[in-house]
Amino acid sequence: MKVIRSIRSMADFSRNAHIKGKTIGFVPTMGALHEGHLSLIRQARKENDVVVVSVFVNPVQFGPKEDYKHYPRNLKRDTELSRKSGADIVFYPDAGDMYFFNHKTYIEVCGLSGYLCGKFRPGHFKGVATVVAKLFNIINPDTSYFGQKDAQQAIVIKKMVEDLNIPVRIKVMPTVREKDGLAMSSRNKYLDKKERADAAVLYQALRMARDLISHGVTDSLSIIRKMRQLISSKKSARIQYISIVNPVDLSGVNTIKERVLIALSVYIGKTRLIDNIVVSP
Ligand code: AMP
């Protein structure tokens, strides 16, 4: 397995792989890899001749008060885990090379970026769409793998690919969870012991919502109210949003008649966690 740092070398590698008729599977990450990321790499390994994992903490998707500087970084560990999971290349570009001092072009997936997390993280999805488009242009993958954990991100990327005719297939893989149901996340590292225990309430609330829907409850507001009560029973929890929306266009759903996305963002202590499930009535 090789670590490639230069954009030019990465593009050359991909071009040569395509000339040889090889398919490229691509997994974009910000590093601090865990089983969630590794499940994407393993899936890419199953379905492609060449697997590229990018490790890039994208400055453009962080707000000024967010954790860009403190985001966990450990290239050696990430490289080893990527290798063990079947990656051929770890692409580890420099932020200064990715965003030259006179970078002026950004991609905005209008509408979709304004819902859910987008309301609270202005500019976040613009940063995500821009970096993913750049990575697609550099790596030119046949298929790229994303996690359902970041449901809105996957929806935004799918729309960008469709709207801009980017020739890549997007695959969304299920959320990988800890034993108590907490969705794996690089940010779980920030939680202390008590907070880590409290954080399990996020998935408990999502499961409760699923149970209510399966028992015939269709009123979103009453479900959200019950979820709020459960989550608020933990002292460390501060709810940012809980939403029940259409899983394609993210528009709000008052009465649940079809498949819905139930998504939430909750601060546990100072750590912002997100999770979601898709439920059919
Ligand atoms: P990140 O490094 O947080 O930008 O995540 C890189 C990719 O891994 C994204 O497509 C995420 O949705 C995905 N991912 C993160 N956590 C999980 C998880 N627990 N299960 C599945 N995929 C995940």
Q: Looking at the CA of residue 30, tell me the nearest atom of ligand 1.
A: 2
**How many folded domains does the chain comprise?**
2
Q: Are residues 58 and 156 in the same domain?
A: yes
Q: Are residues 62 and 164 in the same domain?
A: yes
Q: Are residues 69 and 99 in the same domain?
A: yes
Q: Looking at the CA of residue 184, tell me the nearest atom of ligand 1.
A: 19
pLDDT in tens, 62-100: 999 999 999 999 999 999 999 999 999 999 999 999 999
Measure the CA–CA gap between 123 and 131, rounded to whole angstroms: 12
The verdict on residue 178 lying in a domain is no
Q: Are residues 64 and 157 in the same domain?
A: yes
Q: Compute the distance from residue 217 Cα to the ligand 1 centre, in Å.
A: 31
Domain housing 248:
186-279
Q: Are residues 192 and 167 in the same domain?
A: no
Mean pLDDT rounded to a whole number for the chain: 97
Question: Which among 57, 163, 61 is positioned nearest to 106, based on CA atoms?
Answer: 61
**pLDDT score of 104:** 97
Q: Which member of 37, 70, 124, 215 is catalytic?
A: 37
CATH number at residue 205: 3.30.1300.10
Instruction: Name the percent of the chain lying above pLDDT 70.
Output: 100
pLDDT in tens, 12-51: 999 999 999 999 999 999 999 999 999 999 999 999 999 9
Q: Compute the distance from residue 82 Cα to the ligand 1 centre, in Å.
A: 14
Half-sphere exposure for 69 (CA within 13 Å, toward CB)? 2
Phi, psi for residue 189 in degrees, rounded to 5: -60, -25
Q: Are residues 250 and 131 in the same domain?
A: no
Q: Which amino acid is at 107?
A: I
Q: Are residues 70 and 154 in the same domain?
A: yes
Q: Are residues 156 and 251 in the same domain?
A: no
Contact 183, 196 (CB under 8 A): no
